[in-house]
Amino acid sequence: MASTVRVQAPIGQRALLITTLAVPLTGWTVHALALHRKLSAARRDPLTGLLGRDGYTAKARQIIDRYGDSVLVVLVDLDHFKQINDGPGGHAAGDRVLAATATRLTAWAGSRGAVGRIGGDEFALAVRIGPARRELRLAQLTYLLAQPVEVEDGVMVDVAASIGAASPDVLGTTDLGLLQRAADAAMYAGKHTGRPVLAGSQHVTVPSINGRRAGRPGTNSLGRAA
């Protein structure tokens, strides 16, 4: 009867084999982590550090799904921003105003809110705020965004923002697109008035192109491209 002889590899060889197998696994792990960091960075606006449109949309939907009627969707548009960009400080001054606005929006929304930069000087937020506190919180936001911004040593620039907001309980929908469309219409209803506007049913029926108020700068060209 033939016998089977098993030869056990020396400990050194086994260690070498394990190390050889582990190196590719370690390399793939490092690659995966680096890729994850790049994808996370790609979801953020490089100037302000805020979420980009896709990242904001994903987080805002999560907040709406979780808190429902207690969510407030807010759109913010800086007033007269082109004048700042075209002023003595140029685009550097504009960048500082955008960065300061992003810091203020983040502070107002808190760590659990979603804050995104969705255009040049346009921002969107989704925050858990109950009906009883909406008016006060929007007034606080208006005041916060109206504070002057230092664009260089000792040089201050006056800023202001138009604010529109929408909530699921008022509009009867939790669809983020519809809420943002209504908030956009409400924002333009109060443009340059210095007061935030909470969307009602009349703002849902405002004609829109690609989810934005018709007649809004850029909507016509977007519509043709689509």
Express each pLDDT in 47-66 by its tens digit.
999 999 999 999 999 999 99
pLDDT tens digit sequence for 137-162: 999 999 999 999 998 878 899 999 99
Cα–Cα dist 48/118, whole Å: 11
- The pTM (predicted TM-score) of the whole model is 0.74
Cα–Cα dist 155/133, whole Å: 35
Poorest-pLDDT segment among 66-75, 122-131, 149-158: 149-158
Buried b / exposed e along 28-61 (16+ C-beta atoms within 10 A): eeeeeeeeeeeeeeebbbeebebbbeebbbebbb
* CB-CB contact of 123 with 61 (8 Å): no
**DSSP character for 9?**
P
Nearest to 80 by CA among 97, 92, 96, 104: 97
Q: Give the Å distances, CA to CA, from 45 to 41, 63, 99, 101, 110.
A: 8, 20, 10, 13, 18
* CB-CB contact of 52 with 116 (8 Å): yes
